[in-house]
Chain A
């Protein structure tokens, strides 16, 4: 929990000590003066999502969670692309930009890398982030730019009124696929892990407590954080995540992940934990699900979000059935430290000054080969 990184003092937030401890990720962001409430983060704009949309729940969770960070709200920026969820910045009383389709990670990269005193959040959807903006998403993740990316996944195109999206299940019947979509969907968590993401989590719009916990972990993470939020579109894809929300079904469908805990789910076994567990298949090295009442608990994997290698996290992400969503891991899949692009970029600037001195414009313009014309 270093308050400042060595050598970066001039960018350090003034008056940092007040209130909550400051995570490394936020050490350069100025702290709020005085206590904040959820109200402080609500803008004066009328929220215009369809009644019943899952976006309301996410907005409330974010607005409710922001005071906890204790950051000066003028140093918080929300950047979005295009789509229903991308209207999000208009409703936050922070700085914000509603940009163009798919480009929010690129724009936010420029902002975050030039202003390390800002807490920069990207709000995007499955079409915005994974279709038109897929390239920017993977490159922001591999660079580990200090961005918190909230990917609202409703598995449908809402704003354009109901075409299938890159996360829609194969065979989905929509206006643009009357005979069923031919595409294989992306699993955003698998994609992010493949793109070298240092923080990857999945949560659900309706579980405020879990959502808030994941947001907190993302905010504390130095570097890129991708949070996939399963979000219900009650107009064009209603009930898409019902299997994960309905208490009865969720017991079998959701694999809750907690760092340091055995990966168990399903109806409780005698020890009170789930009767199913995730084990590694010694023959293939892949993961599979077993009944712990038959096979015991010895081989059940203990979730390690901080594992250096992303292979187990990736294998976990592949347990989910892309059509039924059975065995969907929920929680923080990966949370590892690696150099943050913004810091490295600033470091190079500092090193350049150390090595060559502060730039002297006149000397630059003159170069090494000049001649003089005498009048």
Chain B
């Protein structure tokens, strides 16, 4: 399905009862907004993630810029109606280019008292709150500690509250279906989606098509959901309670020309890996073990067997990377996907890959730690684990995407390094990038980098007596990469292993001087990897403070920097894609500013690295709340740094 931004699709229903955007415009006031933040919140069984996803798709196809933040508990179905069971989905969309899922919602949809209680602190006065009054029973309210009803006791006086009996209205709308009250009530999320779609003039045809295809085997359920969806739309249009609807124009000028889609980080990363396989002309082999929030990459790659992708769900994390490494030996583009605890288990095999000098991509979708930590929440605290978390001197390059869509390019870059330098590479994403989404300009396949490699085909060394031999550790003088000789190549039979090897021959060697040489050579190979210089944004050229970030903090940092510049202050910004090796010019850049601030979702891991490496007094600004930074909070911190410059 393709739509043109210039002609936003209205609801496309032929039926008399169906939504009709023509009429509401005449009868009701329409206000134009430049941006809106909506948060859907309910029980983990209420379908809030699906609702958010659908609203996002409608918004993407309408042509707004957008950014999303799903936030859900680790429990699949936490006890109903409790605070720990609340699942939410925040969406920020605008008529201009935006960078974050937004700090504070303008609209909160609360499907029950728990959802209201868990989220109200984030909602500023004056915002709109839509509550499902059916769920505000005495018992449900008592369960989350409401002594009196917040809908009646005046505690929501500062808000614009819409009290809607969502369940009752949904059940009423589905009277014609052969469904019990409980079953019919399940469609209340689609009723809510319909209502919000009316409020914000979202195109609806894709949602209807989506429901038809999702419930293709149960057409009754599909129709029930579509009916509930339309009923929600009609409710908005007809009821007095909703007097105003809003328009947020497409962000046409924010986007360069091209074809766009909405994409989450894990999907972009998966596509990046498939693209790397195509561009390198090597079969993709994924060895993986399920772990939140990385499993979606395993799921996605498992769907693409027609691209020659072999996905292997192993018995544990160690076997996942082991199988990948075995496939790398055999000439595949090998990948393992995991999160922090999985990296800990894979460490020994990563060390083996360092020693074997075979290409291998290790995808770490970081989550809150230590130990099991916060499985569904985001954090950036695996940087030092990726950098140093192995025995011996075992350097591994590190690549970090900055936004959900950027995961695509970062995956290709990780593949480039792995293949060119014959090394394991860390691709450090995180839970926020993984599940968050944004519009993505789909690249032309012809623009993608050529990643083809040459396997060794014959002898590469001449002995003193003139015999031609193959030396598995004779290096390319430029890249220091060793030859990749895959089994099946006649005459190149060789043995590799984790024991220290003699330079050149690869035979076991315990020689002290050889070990010293090999350790330094492996380090030199990683240090010599070509990465682009870091770019600094310093429009006035007079900034005294530089804010340096890496990974998913790109959005909030950039938003905060814009606010500061809007306020008339100068501040420079730089963002690292490559954390090992650092860009060659990084030291010079850092030393060019009086003050360097490093915001991170850890306790200062990048700051530690740059302080040690460049002897620069980098200051940390940190947060480990399992959530991305808020732009406002960062802006305040940066302002303080400017003031105390």
Q: Tell me if A198 counts as interface (CB < 8 A to partner B).
A: no
Supposing A349-B308, A366-B259 touch, asked if A371 and B60 sit within 8 A by C-beta, the answer is yes
Partner of B493, one of A95, A107, A359: A95
- Are A356 and B306 in contact, CB atoms less than 8 angstroms apart? yes
List, in ascending order, chain A residues with CB within 8 A of B329's CB: 77, 97, 107, 110-111
| B268 nearest CB neighbor, chain A only | A365
Partner of B5, one of A75, A356, A373: A373
A135–B492 alpha-carbon span in the complex (Å): 33
Partner of B323, one of A113, A349, A357, A369: A113
Supposing A362-B445, A370-B259, A371-B2 touch, asked if A111 and B493 sit within 8 A by C-beta, the answer is no
Question: Which of A75, A365, A372 has the most C-beta atoms of chain B within 10 angstroms of its own C-beta?
Answer: A365
Interface hit among B165-173, B313-321, B573-581: B313-321
- Are A100 and B348 in contact, CB atoms less than 8 angstroms apart? yes
- Are B330 and A110 in contact, CB atoms less than 8 angstroms apart? yes
Q: Tell me if B631 counts as interface (CB < 8 A to partner A).
A: no
Question: Which of B252, B315, B349, B443 has the most C-beta atoms of chain A within 10 angstroms of its own C-beta?
Answer: B315
Partner of B255, one of A111, A118, A357, A373: A373
| A41 nearest CB neighbor, chain B only | B493
CB distance from B441 to the nearest CB of A (A): 8
| A91 nearest CB neighbor, chain B only | B495
Q: Tell me if A283 counts as interface (CB < 8 A to partner B).
A: no
List, in ascending order, chain B residues with CB within 8 A of A92's CB: 495
| B279 nearest CB neighbor, chain A only | A361
Q: How large is the interface on B (under 10, 10 to 19, 20 to 34, 35 or more residues)?
A: 35 or more
Q: Tell me if A192 counts as interface (CB < 8 A to partner B).
A: no
Main secondary structure of the interface of B (DSSP, over half): mixed
Supposing A98-B496, A361-B445, A369-B61 touch, asked if A349 and B488 sit within 8 A by C-beta, the answer is no
CB distance from A136 to the nearest CB of B (A): 5
- Are B498 and A99 in contact, CB atoms less than 8 angstroms apart? yes
- Are A97 and B356 in contact, CB atoms less than 8 angstroms apart? yes
| B209 nearest CB neighbor, chain A only | A368
Supposing A361-B274, A364-B274 touch, asked if A111 and B330 sit within 8 A by C-beta, the answer is yes
| A107 nearest CB neighbor, chain B only | B326
List, in ascending order, chain A residues with CB within 8 A of B262's CB: 369
| B272 nearest CB neighbor, chain A only | A365
List, in ascending order, chain B residues with CB within 8 A of A374's CB: 4-6, 257
List, in ascending order, chain A residues with CB within 8 A of B312's CB: 109-110, 113, 345
- Are A349 and B493 in contact, CB atoms less than 8 angstroms apart? no
Q: Tell me if A367 counts as interface (CB < 8 A to partner B).
A: yes
| A102 nearest CB neighbor, chain B only | B318
- Are B318 and A371 in contact, CB atoms less than 8 angstroms apart? no
Partner of A94, one of B206, B256, B308, B493: B493
Q: Tell me if B305 counts as interface (CB < 8 A to partner A).
A: yes
Supposing A136-B315, A371-B259 touch, asked if A103 and B306 sit within 8 A by C-beta, the answer is no
Supposing A136-B315, A372-B2 touch, asked if A107 and B259 sit within 8 A by C-beta, the answer is no
Per-residue B-contact encoding for A291-332, CB less than 8 Å = 1, 0 else: 000000000000000000000000000000000000000000
Supposing A113-B327, A136-B319 touch, asked if A371 and B3 sit within 8 A by C-beta, the answer is yes
- Are A110 and B326 in contact, CB atoms less than 8 angstroms apart? yes
A365–B273 alpha-carbon span in the complex (Å): 12
A103–B498 alpha-carbon span in the complex (Å): 12
Supposing A106-B314, A370-B260 touch, asked if A359 and B307 sit within 8 A by C-beta, the answer is yes
| A98 nearest CB neighbor, chain B only | B497
CB distance from A82 to the nearest CB of B (A): 8
Q: Tell me if B489 counts as interface (CB < 8 A to partner A).
A: yes
| B322 nearest CB neighbor, chain A only | A106
- Are B1 and A100 in contact, CB atoms less than 8 angstroms apart? no
Per-residue A-contact encoding for B326-354, CB less than 8 Å = 1, 0 else: 11111110100000000000001101100
Q: Tell me if A37 counts as interface (CB < 8 A to partner B).
A: no
Q: Tell me if A31 counts as interface (CB < 8 A to partner B).
A: no
List, in ascending order, chain A residues with CB within 8 A of B260's CB: 370-373
A93–B283 alpha-carbon span in the complex (Å): 27
- Are A115 and B488 in contact, CB atoms less than 8 angstroms apart? yes
List, in ascending order, chain B residues with CB within 8 A of A112's CB: 326
A100–B350 alpha-carbon span in the complex (Å): 11
- Are A114 and B495 in contact, CB atoms less than 8 angstroms apart? no
List, in ascending order, chain A residues with CB within 8 A of B348's CB: 100
A255–B287 alpha-carbon span in the complex (Å): 41
Q: Tell me if B508 counts as interface (CB < 8 A to partner A).
A: yes
- Are A113 and B318 in contact, CB atoms less than 8 angstroms apart? no
- Are A366 and B442 in contact, CB atoms less than 8 angstroms apart? yes
| A142 nearest CB neighbor, chain B only | B315
A281–B102 alpha-carbon span in the complex (Å): 75
Within 8 A of A (CB), among B237-258: 252, 255-258
A residues sitting closer than 8 Å to B (CB atoms) are 30, 43, 45, 72-77, 79, 82, 89-90, 92-100, 103, 106-115, 117-118, 135-136, 139, 345, 348-349, 351-353, 355-359, 361-362, 364-375
The contact sample of 15 A-B pairs, CB cut-off 8 A, is A97-B326, A100-B351, A106-B318, A109-B312, A109-B322, A109-B326, A110-B312, A110-B328, A114-B332, A118-B488, A135-B319, A345-B310, A364-B271, A365-B275, A370-B1
Q: Across the A-B interface, give the 5 residue pairs with the lowest CB-CB distance, nearest first.
A: A98-B497, A110-B326, A106-B322, A110-B323, A359-B307
Q: Can you name 16 extra interface pairs (CB under 8 A) apart from A106-B326, A352-B304? A: A74-B488, A76-B487, A77-B487, A94-B493, A97-B497, A100-B351, A100-B498, A107-B325, A114-B283, A114-B326, A349-B308, A359-B307, A361-B278, A369-B57, A373-B252, A373-B260
